[in-house]
Chains A and B, each alone.
Chain A
Amino acid sequence: MIGSTTLYGLCATGLVAIGLYGLVLHPSPLRKVIAFNLLGSGTFILFGVAAQRGAAAGLLADPVPQAMVITGIVVAFAATAVAVALLLRLVESGGSTLEPSAPDPQDDRPS
């Protein structure tokens, strides 16, 4: 019978699929960033499942993957912060999408 841990594992795979879908198809950068965070959360839960399954020696869960997840969450937050700052600056400078436009051949600056 499926245990609760496995249930959360399945939940993680669901989050991964949903996050990937959004990351691939959403044209807006902000929505991509959100989808990336969902995807990341799913991945972290996978670690959590491993931690929970590894409960032993009086510990309720294996602490090593937990520590990795905490590090991972911080890194994901940093990534989000940089991405958001970048996209805000991009919008301020007049661009809004990720798809490049044709380069201007008369532009004199080194590309």
Chain B
Amino acid sequence: MTPAAYTATEGGALLVVAIVLPVIGMLAIFALGLRRAERIAYLVLPVGLLVALAIAADVARSGAAVTYVLGGWQPPLGIALRADGLSVTLMVLTAVVLCAVGLVARGSFSTPPDKAEARSPMVFWTLILGLWCALNTVFLSQDLFNLFVALELLTFSAVPLVCLDGRRETLQAALRYLLFALIGSVLYLMGAALLYGAYGTLDLAGLRLLARNDLATSVALGLMIAGLMAKAALFPLHLWLPPAHAGAPAAASAVLSALVVKAPFFIILRLWFDVAPQPANAMAAQMLAWLGIASILFCSVMALRQARLKLMIAYSTVAQLGYLFLMFPLVMASDAPTAWESVGWTGGVLQLVSHALAKASMFLAAGLIAEALGHDRIENLDGAMSVVPISVAAFGLAGLSLMGLPPSGGFVAKLMLLTAATETANWWIAAAILLGGILAASYVFRVLNRAMAAPASDFACKASIPLYRELTVLGLAICAVVLGFVPLQPFAFLGIGRVGLP
């Protein structure tokens, strides 16, 4: 019954730092009530990035997962943190996106010089740091209940960001988000209770060794996966996402769309590949993929029909999330010896990463465009190109990745998914990938077309945007594009720590 013990590796303490550092920053901002809350954030952000990079370097060098057993208490009694190739990739991604968002947000969330502590900067920076702690915990924790706490941490950080401007629509969106996320949490917790009742442990590695095919496990996984899908806003559970992500300030939307919805998906990945009794269930995998297909097609059309830029991007997020769920049947049917050596798995993970970069860049660009023009109606975007050319270019580059056109991370990801679909004869999935690409191109070009049109004669620029903000956005978009030069094959790095789990 007791699974093999986790052995703490050298440098494991960095994992603790990755989780705790944002908390320290958050508490400091909160407690000191400083005139300029953002200064502490600017101290924490680069350090956090360095920590993530250091862990990544450690993992890459040793070729094995970095592990830390908290307090020295072995799971299942205690809780272990573990950074494998996948989690480290996502941690670095998170750090990069947050640093970029931090730079761009400097314009909108700096404390005015003549005031003491102001509401929106203080709230924004504390919540962003809270979010970071939550995300790192999600990526590192090996305990299902600890993951629950992390998910809640995520929700509580994300919801107030949605209604930061206090308008009625955003309050409504935030409340819907909160309540629906809470149903998701409860379903997840219910599943965890059943698993504990059945196995006496919530440790991932322990469950992996013990997992049986019985009613309790099936019901628990069903509840947990459904709950997590509600939090990830997969169609048709996307009711909360478009208004919430469109209503939040652009810098917050970028984080919400790029990172926050990925966390529940990451836990689904963990459940599916680490907890569910293997071989995984074909029918459930197909169901996930069909929901993904529906998500791609339905929400792409919805994105195409939006009048507001940010709403369009929000619907596009739901559509792009659909791609992630395509990987389950693709991995199952693949003849690769392990899941993480299959093209489908790699493609899915790459889609996650490239979408995060592209979507963050897109939302930030949309924010700058809206700031410069004073609105974000797609029909009246004329002249954007002449005011914020770099932002429009960033939007276009990010769009390239969403459409899946080369050279971009999105292209490689979709190509890998398409290859996997072809190899495993999942023709519907292949068709959905291609059709989704065409629809994505349609909605991106619709925006670019307007943005590049000559401005109307009475055109007036509402605000001038400092160059560094635009360049940061462009940098993110370029990251998404540069990902397109990774080779088209499973990477050993993403598989680190997957083999030989304790």
Q: Do B375 and A109 touch across chains, with their CB atoms under 8 A apart?
A: yes
Contact B178 A90 (CB under 8 A): no
Task: Please encode chain A, from 69 to 93, with 1 for each CB lying within 8 Å of some chain B CB and 0 for all others.
Answer: 0011001001100110011011001
Assembly CA distance A50 to B198 (angstroms): 8
Chain A residues 1 to 43 lying within 8 A of chain B, measured CB to CB, are: 16, 23, 29, 32-33, 36, 39-40, 43
Q: Are A86 and B171 in contact (CB under 8 A)?
A: yes
User: B246 contacts A86, CB within 8 Å?
Assistant: no
Contact status A46-B376, CB under 8 Å: no
Stretch of B49-57, B186-194, B408-416 with 4 or more beta carbons under 8 angstroms from chain A? B186-194
Is A68 touching B145 in the complex (CB atoms < 8 A)? Answer: yes
**Which residues does chain A contribute within 8 Å of B367, judged by CB atoms?**
110
B376 and A93 contact, CB distance less than 8 A? no
Number of interface residues of B (CB under 8 A): 47
Known A75-B149, A95-B168, A110-B370: A54·B200 in contact at CB below 8 Å: yes
Any A CB within 8 A of the CB of B404: no
Q: Of A29, A64, A90, A94, which contacts B77 at CB under 8 A?
A: A64
Are A43 and B190 in contact, with the CB atoms below 8 A? Answer: yes
Q: Which residues of A contact B370 (CB under 8 A)?
A: 110
B77/A82 in contact, CB under 8 A: no
| A103–B307 alpha-carbon span in the complex (Å) | 10
**Interface of chain A, main secondary structure:** helix
Chain B nearest Cβ from A9, distance in angstroms: 9
Residues of chain A with a CB closer than 8 A to B243's CB: 100
- Size of the A side of the interface (Cβ < 8 Å), in residues, is 41
Inter-chain contact B179/A110, CB cutoff 8 Å: no
A58 within 8 A of B: no
B-side contacts of A87, CB under 8 Å? 175
Contacts of B194 in A (CB 8 A): 46
Contact A90/B168 with A36-B182, A83-B178, A110-B310 known, Cβ cut-off 8 Å: yes
Interface residues of B, dominant DSSP: helix
CA A103 to CA B243, docked complex, whole Å: 10
Q: In the complex, what's the smallest C-beta–C-beta distance from B55 to chain A, in angstroms? A: 27
**Other-chain residue from B145, B172, B196, B246 in contact with A98 (beta carbon distance below 8 A):** B172
Please indicate the chain A residues that have their CB under 8 angstroms from the CB of B172 in the complex.
90, 95, 98, 100
Judge whether A90 and B193 touch: CB under 8 Å. Answer: no
Q: Which of A32, A46, A93 contacts B179 (CB 8 A)?
A: A32
- Bound state CA distance, A48 and B375, in angstroms? 53
Contact A46 B197 (CB under 8 A): yes
Q: Does chain A have a CB within 8 A of B335? A: no
Question: In the complex, how many angstroms separate the beta carbon of B28 from the nearest chain A beta carbon?
Answer: 21
Shortest Cβ distance from B165 into A: residue: A109
Q: Which residues of B contact A49 (CB under 8 A)?
A: 197
The verdict on A40 contacting B186 (CB below 8 Å), with A86-B163, A100-B243, A111-B246 known, is yes
Please, which residue of chain A has its CB at the minimum distance from the CB of B369? A110
CA distance A98 to B172 in the complex (A): 6
Bound together, the chains give a CA A79 to CA B185 distance in angstroms of 11
- With both chains docked as a complex, state the minimum distance between the C-beta of B190 and any C-beta of chain A, in angstroms: 5
Q: Is the CB–CB distance between B168 and A86 below 8 Å? A: no
A93 engages B166 (CB within 8 Å): yes
A49-B197, A79-B155 are known; give 4 further A-B pairs, CB within 8 A: A64-B77, A83-B175, A109-B375, A111-B376
Q: B residues engaging A (CB < 8 A)?
A: 77, 145, 148-149, 152, 155-156, 159-160, 163, 166-169, 171-176, 178-179, 182-183, 185-186, 189-190, 193-194, 196-197, 200, 243, 246-247, 250, 307-311, 367, 370, 374-376
Q: List 16 A-B contacts (CB under 8 A).
A: A40-B186, A43-B189, A65-B196, A79-B155, A79-B156, A82-B156, A83-B182, A86-B159, A86-B163, A87-B175, A100-B173, A103-B169, A103-B308, A108-B374, A110-B376, A111-B310
